[in-house]
Structure 1
Amino acid sequence: MASIAVPLIEAAATRVLAGLGVGVAGSIAVDSAKKRQEAADKAASTPIARVDACTDDSSKCKNCPPDKGAPYLRNTAGWSDDSITYQVRIAQMPPAPTGFLTEWLFNGVTFDGFDSAQCLLKEAKARYDQFFDMFRQVRPWWKDGADKIIDEAYRQAAAAMPRPPVQLRWHFMEPISYRYFSRIINAAYPDVEVVFQP
């Protein structure tokens, strides 16, 4: 629409300036206005980038607040092998002693993983579909468990600040739990990414 307006504005400006006796100066002003309009049109057509977010895997985020965090050893006693394997795969954290997983502690809250290059904190949830009935509702006996997951998401979202540059992504291994929790998390924190990743 702006590209249609430029010729009309240029023609009107030329006539007005010519009528005022400003021939050469008017033509320079019109050329200047035209260049500014072209620059604005070009800027409007380019994708808008998040100014502070670091998303390039090959470069280090220069100012990533979670870099001030620290590794945290999580005891995995009672965890299923699937849950441990899934967290290791998603979190991509350094190895830990047997019976533990390395997590990341930032702003007093633990996260399953942290990728400094992307300024990305991660959480991995593996086998949670078992806690839903055939109607995809939380089983009554696990209501407190679901509430704890939601509370954990809210605590992490409050700690993963400022956004940007800090990013928070939750990964779910199974589809029912993904659909259930993604709606709740995104309703409260639309900027927290929730993904289904088997």
Structure 2
Amino acid sequence: MQGGRVIATEAAKGMATIVLAKEVAKDITQQQRCNKCEPYQIGNKIELERSMGHEINTQYQFKIANLSSHPLKFRVSEPFLKPGNKKPTTKVQEWSVGGVSFDGLWPMECILVEAKGRYAQFLDPKMNKFVKENVFTLMYKEADSQKKAVLMLKGAKLQWYFYENETKKYFDKLISNTIHTIFMPL
């Protein structure tokens, strides 16, 4: 009986070695794919302090940034009040390439991502026109700088994700459909 147990133990060790070897090979293959992504090679993770407005905005950015970010992991802090501020501040990690910030990077697909949470409130006809124009002018400028940065990066793509479909539709018209946008609620 002892011999059978030894054989079974050795077989189990052999299987564990094969499984481990496959995992290492998979990790190496994934790393090779990431290394082909120019934003992954030349960019870096940064931490910013932002007033995120509604809590959903933070949750949404966290979800989109990490949807396909392996081996990267983007983090967000709990909101906190800075002295002198009335609105909470959140520390968020983003990806920066050439001084341009993106909410995340999915290195294996080489996709830089941006997440937009609750912006439909600014489309309400009762909304102050100045506020609406300011919000969407800033969004347009952000999109334009990201688009220009991505055009300079070999193999890189840009995708914007929207929590609310009406904001996505408005943004698509605003930028004349020049950026790939996706409606994806939480």
Please state how far the C-alpha of 1:175 moved relative to its aligned partner.
1.3
Matched, 1:65 2:56: no
Matched, 1:83 2:57: yes
Q: What are structure 1's unaligned runs of at least 5 residues?
A: 1-56
Distance 1:184 1:77 in 2: 24
Aligned to 1:153, which of 136, 143, 147?
143
2:22 is matched with none
Matched, 1:141 2:159: no
Q: Which has the higher contact order (CA 8 A, sep 6+)?
A: 2
1:131 is matched with 122
Count of matched residue positions in the alignment of Structure 1 and Structure 2: 137
Assess if the C-alpha contact under 8 Å between 2:103 and 2:114 holds in 1: yes
Residues 91/158 of structure 1: CA separation in 2 closer, same or farther (3 Å cut):
same
SS in 2 for 1:60: helix
2:26 is matched with none
Assess if the C-alpha contact under 8 Å between 1:124 and 1:170 holds in 2: yes
Assess if the C-alpha contact under 8 Å between 1:71 and 1:105 holds in 2: yes
Please list the CA deviations of residues 156-178 of structure 1 after superposition, one character each: whole Å capped at 9, or x if unmatched.
00011346610000001001111
Aligned to 1:103, which of 94, 98, 101?
94
Please list the CA deviations of residues 43-83 of structure 1 after superposition, one character each: whole Å capped at 9, or x if unmatched.
xxxxxxxxxxxxxx897144211011011112134532110
Distance 1:166 1:103 in 2: 16
Q: TM-score, normalised by structure 2?
A: 0.65
Matched, 1:185 2:175: yes
Paired amino acid for 1:109: V
Distance 1:58 1:104 in 2: 18
Please list the CA deviations of residues 140-196 of structure 1 after superposition, one character each: whole Å capped at 9, or x if unmatched.
132111101001000000011346610000001001111010223344x3xx31111
Identical counterparts, % of pairs: 28
Assess if the C-alpha contact under 8 Å between 1:73 and 1:102 holds in 2: yes
Assess if the C-alpha contact under 8 Å between 1:132 and 1:139 holds in 2: no
The higher radius of gyration belongs to: 1
Give the superposed CA RMSD.
2.4
Distance 1:62 1:167 in 2: 15
Aligned to 1:113, which of 78, 100, 104?
104
Q: TM-score, normalised by structure 1?
A: 0.62
Distance 1:78 1:101 in 2: 10
1:164-175 aligned within 5 A = 165-175=155-165
